[in-house]
Structure formats: structure tokens, C-alpha cells
Amino acid sequence: MTLDAFIDALPKVELHVHLVGSASVPTVLELSRRHPGSEVPATEEELRRFYTFRDFPHFARVYQAVNRLVREPEDVATLVLGLARDLAPQGARYVELQVTPYAHHVVGLPMRAVTEALDLAARRSLAEHGVEIAYIFDIAGEFGEEAARITVEHALQEPPAALVGFGIGGIEQERTKYQDAFRSAFSAARAAGLHSVPHAGEMSGPETIWEVIDGYGAERIGHGINCLADDRLVAHLRETRLPLDVCPTSNVRTGQVARIEDHPLPRMLEEGLYITLNSDDPPMFATTLADEYRVAANVFGLDRPELAQLARNGVQASYLAEERKKALMNEIDELLRRDQTT
């Protein structure tokens, strides 16, 4: 089969994608027209220009503007179902979707209403699109102690049925002012049985990665691309097999990497690090999960067995039930076997 056909057929999981950032252009336009008067454009041409980011802080401001369009439980469900609809044709079977409860809190949505919308959308995503949804609750790091408190309260008091993890995103340089609050939040979440999956090492150096390892008990790390600046950290990540959820196009679009050809993913693989491939905020970055596999093949030179290994990494690093992991691994192996014998 052609490379494109192989990539589309490859069973995949998406471990690093954000609820609001997953909204396709038609979905954002629908929300913008549903809630007029926002700074988000209501035409496709203007919206695509709006998604041209100067740097990460500018991206964060645009993201927050779109966030403010999510004002009703129906808006939350619309985003989840839109993601499932978009992922299904790409061979995606399972997604761990990052949700930022604080963003819904500040527009007045009650915890219970958000949770009911997430539960409903997860059921419909599986029934209508064949995509299983799990959730990660994510602290908006630059909003400090209040964001940490609200996120923990929602996770512990009104969790959706499919909540599996607890994370932190946003501007990494802002975290140092609130480290005690963030450490406490992760401690409470982990005590409740949630997995620790923070962002780190995207826009700051190895020290942020060490902080989430030592202070947050990280079990998987979002991005981690700047780990290569610290040989001791690279050795630790390799020896512990701590997964890094890498999103190449995202890093270029937010200015963390100058060109896709300069992305550190190939060297991270050469160093023996445990890498999963993800899309982050796909419509905002003009990518898809399948397109990230195409980048890995066409830009980084990975062959089909190596692409299949990235897909296996994602399955193994996920919080799927073991029997579901085994079934997906078998599907990946069978696709590779068929491809190599035709």
C-alpha cells in the first residue's frame, strides 16, 4: 500500500491534544456565531489569519480568546464530538483529551454541568465515531494558585467517569511563583489515583523537566523537547523509560523550533528515548495526528516499521485497559505484516 494509505490505516492513540485546541475551523466558526461579540473572527479567512502565531505568549492569548467561546455545556460537548469525528478517519481509536476546568469556571460553568457534558460526549464519541475518550484535567499554569485549587476540586469532587490523569500547561516560565501550590495539587490528584502527565521542557530548559519529575511525580511528560541540553536528564529518561509526548508541528508553529527540519525528534529517538507522536492543537497548527506521522516519514525519514513502533509506544504509554492495549498492538502488528507481504 502507499505510505499515505499505511499511515491512515495505522491504528493510533492521541495522548496530547487539548479540548479547545482541537476545535476545527467549522466548529470555532459555529461557536463564534453562536456567541457574537467576541474577538474571535466569524469568517474562515479571518480565523485562519487569527491562527498565525508570533510566539508562544501570542498563541496563549489566541487560545484563551477561543476558550472564552465555550460558555455552555453544549459547547463543551460540541468540542469533544468534533474531535472524535475528526480523529476517526485517521485511524485513531483512543484519545486522552486535556481539559482545563479553570477556563470553564471563569465563564461561570458549574462543575457538574461540565462533567455531565464530558460524560455525554464520551459516550456519543464511542457510539457514533468508534473513538474512546478519556480525560486529563489540566491546570492553566499562568493563573496560579486559584487555577490549581479549582482544577483539583473539580477532579476530586465532580470528576467525569473517564478521568485518568492530571496535568499542567501554559507558559512554563510562570510556574516558579506557584510551585508549592502546584506540587500540592499534583500530590492530591495522585493520592486520588490520577496519573501525573504535566507539560515540561517545551519553552523552558531541563530544569522544568526535573521539577515535574521530582516535584509532580510525572509518569508521562508533554513535549520534553529541551531535555537534550542535559546529558544526565537524557540518561534518566532513557533508563526509566519515561514517555515524552512529542508534537513536532506544534513546536514550530509556536516558535519553539525554527524549522521542522530542525526538530529534535530524530535525535531523541537516536538517544533511545520513549517517544509518542501527537498533534497538540491540530486545527490551530494546521495539522492532524496522521499528518504528524507523515512528517515523521517525509521529513525525519522514519520507515514503516519505525512509524508502527511510534504507534505502539502511544498505545503502551496510554492509560487504556491492558486488554484494549493488547488488541491494538495486535492490530498494529497485523497491519505491518500485511504491508510487508503485499
- Record the cell numbers describing residue 314, joined without a space: 502511544
Assess whether 96 carries a catalytic annotation.
no
Across the strands, what pairs with 275? 244
Residue 64 exposure: Cα atoms within 13 Å on the Cβ side: 15
Write b or e for each residue in 239-250: b if 16 or more Cβ atoms lie within 10 A of its Cβ, otherwise e: eeebbbbbbbbb
d(CA 38, CA 230): 43
Identified catalytic residue from 72, 172, 202, 219: 202
- DSSP letter string, 103-172: HHHTTT--HHHHHHHHHHHHHHHHHHH--EEEEEEEEEGGGHHHHHHHHHHHHHHS--TTEEEEEEES-G
Cβ neighbours of 127 (radius 10 Å): 9
Whose cell is 500540592? That residue is 184
Whose cell is 537524557? That residue is 234
- Record the cell numbers describing residue 12, joined without a space: 493510533
Distance of CA 149 to the CA centre of its chain: 22
d(CA 316, CA 218): 16
Q: Between the CA atoms of 281, 22, 274 and 213, what dihedral angle is there, to the nearest 10 degrees?
A: 80
- Asked if residues 60 and 171 have their Cβ atoms less than 8 Å apart, the reply is yes
3-class SS at 190?
Answer: helix
Catalytic residues: 202
